[in-house]
Structure 1
């Protein structure tokens, strides 16, 4: 189930980022807008666009969040491996799981190192 969802979420996220999908959505909105006089700008006419956009937005939030979570986790794993394999401080591995205050300590340490000051260990 998870692999199927990931595959579908990735395909939808990829497709929705394509120019032709934007053009399709824009065309749909234009057709809806032009059809207003034919429906006397009724509440049903307005409800069609409101319901459609709400449903699409609601579903896209979850699909986009899923792809962002997977991308973020993959990037973190790659960065962790670069730190492990290189000359970076192993203390930085996994800092994305720390509290904001703990991450700020690491940022301060990096700022000091950039200025050429001695780096304190965390």
Structure 2
């Protein structure tokens, strides 16, 4: 699917907002702004119009940030999935079924999970291993 220039620009803007919002200085700016607004609100006698405006702005910012976070997490998930798929494909011993596991049925996921758990348990099984004098296991 080809992305248009507008979609690419919007994606870059959303990532820029997400990167900016994830910095610790963004938290400090928000806290200081809220404190200043609270003091100004108290000095002005808590006008209802100010409270309504603040609620409207806070709701709008929350909604925008919801979409920013969803977009950036979705893209990061896709990138991570592609990297993991490449690692799976590059290993001759890897199970190729795992490459497209995200579209599997729940029952198939449960079966594969049980197989993985059994495999990991078999690796932890001390049968055939002895402990040497230095405390490391040896076959």
TM over 0.5: yes
2:103 is matched with 97
- Matched residue of 1:113: which SS? helix
Q: Which of the residues 96, 107, 112 maps onto 2:113?
A: 107
1:65 is matched with 70
Indicate the structure (1 or 2) with the bigger Cα radius of gyration.
2
Is the contact made by 1:32 and 1:49 (CA closer than 8 Å) also made in structure 2?
Answer: no
* Mapped partners of 2:56, 2:107: distance in 1: 42
* Mapped partners of 1:99, 1:35: distance in 2: 55
- Aligned pairs, number: 117
1:75 is matched with 80
Normalized against structure 2, the TM-score is what? 0.78
Is the contact made by 1:13 and 1:63 (CA closer than 8 Å) also made in structure 2?
Answer: yes
- Tell me how far 1:48 sits from its aligned partner: 2.6
- Tell me how far 1:55 sits from its aligned partner: 0.6
* Mapped partners of 1:101, 1:66: distance in 2: 29
Gaps of 5+ in 1: 118-122
| Higher RCO (C-alpha under 8 Å, 6+ residues apart) | 1
Counterparts of 1:25-44 in structure 2, within 5 Å, are 25-44=30-49
Normalized against structure 1, the TM-score is what? 0.88
